[in-house]
Amino acid sequence: MSEIVPPEVRPKPAVPAKPQGSSGGGSTLLGYVGIDTIIEQMRKKTMKTGFDFNVMVVGQSGLGKSTLVNTLFKSQVSRRSSGWSRDEKIPRTVEIKSVSHVIEEGGVKMKLTVIDTPGFGDQINNENCWEPISKYINEQYEKFLKEEVNIARKKRIPDTRVHCCLYFISPTGHSLRQLDIEFMKHLGRAVNIIPVIAKADTLTPEEKTEFKQRVRKELEVCGAEFYPQKEFDEDMEDKSDNDKIRETMPFAVVGSDKEYQVNGKRVLGRKTAWGIVEVENPNHCEFSLLRDFLIRSHLQDLKEVTHNIHYETYRAKRLNDNGGLHPISSSSDTQESNL
């Protein structure tokens, strides 16, 4: 049978390379050919097909997960807005509940799925409470793998894999909780984890800096990798960009869906007796940094890392475990998969 190929990073899909001046190996063009129009062609295609993005939110109840997701995507996309009542009892085991919405901006359609994990970290005994989450993530990889391995493949495999996991850290001001470290250690290799400090309006600027430093140090010491992972930086430019981001992570965020009048403008914020916390003001919290990072610059990269690295790791493990891959016909749903 075919040899088992060690997991290597598959070459990225044909995205036009960054302009490189005269690198060795390329011949100079004698006129305008029109190769650069490929960008435009890709853009048109993407706009037509739209794309999927799946984000999972994990954290104890009450840390503002639903509010933050709503604020990030400026629409009511969380489970709370889809009819779930806040007074529901805390479930005894961690549940996985996902809600999908199609949002559109500038002609681009995005099918956004928000996966919520109620019950995480809320019980008295939280041992292994990350297992249902790990199971869910692997199930999505499995689904994708099954589709890929089909003889008659669908033109566009529906992608339910978790592209990004926002992990909410409680703003104690001291250090990470043990549960946080356990979660990140167990799941950092399977999914892109972006830690955020929730409800950051409880920390003064000095406390925030100290807390972030301590958190970063603790994560380094225990070997938990968060996105953007150092080992996947491709070139110097990537590395320096990502280094800057890694220095400011985890982002200390505040979410809100209410607007108030500040200095003649309407801003999203939280109003207290001593002032208004403006969500999009970089002096107040790092929400705009998170949004820019997550949506405006690294959205595609998140998907690629999920596909090229995490998924490939899962796939290679599956192949190794079962000693080979047999293509299955499309009627395999009724019989046991022989993967």
Residues of the shown chain interacting with other proteins in the complex, contacts defined by CB under 8 A: 60-64, 86-87, 90, 122-127, 170-182, 198-199, 201-202, 204-205, 214, 217-218, 221-222, 270-278, 281, 283-284
Residue 224 Cβ vs other proteins, minimum distance, rounded to whole Å: 10
Task: CB nearer to other proteins: give 133 or 302.
Answer: 133
User: How many degrees, rounded to 5, is the angle at CA 320 between CA 314 and CA 321?
Assistant: 90
What are the backbone dihedrals phi and psi of residue 109, each rounded to the nearest 5 degrees, phi first? -100, 135
Q: Taking Cα atoms as reference points, which of 272, 56, 169, 270 lies closest to residue 280? A: 270
Task: CB nearer to other proteins: give 181 or 191.
Answer: 181
Q: Which long-range contacts (CB under 8 A, 24 or more apart) does 278-282 make?
A: 279/71, 279/254, 279/255
Task: CB nearer to other proteins: give 15 or 222.
Answer: 222
Residue 131 Cβ vs other proteins, minimum distance, rounded to whole Å: 12
What are the backbone dihedrals phi and psi of residue 70, each rounded to the nearest 5 degrees, phi first? -60, -40
Residue 176 Cβ vs other proteins, minimum distance, rounded to whole Å: 5
Residue 245 Cβ vs other proteins, minimum distance, rounded to whole Å: 22
Residue 65 Cβ vs other proteins, minimum distance, rounded to whole Å: 11
Task: CB nearer to other proteins: give 33 or 124.
Answer: 124
Q: Taking Cα atoms as reference points, which of 178, 143, 184 lies closest to residue 162? A: 143
Task: CB nearer to other proteins: give 50 or 173.
Answer: 173
CA distances from 142 to 159, 174, 231 (A): 11, 39, 25
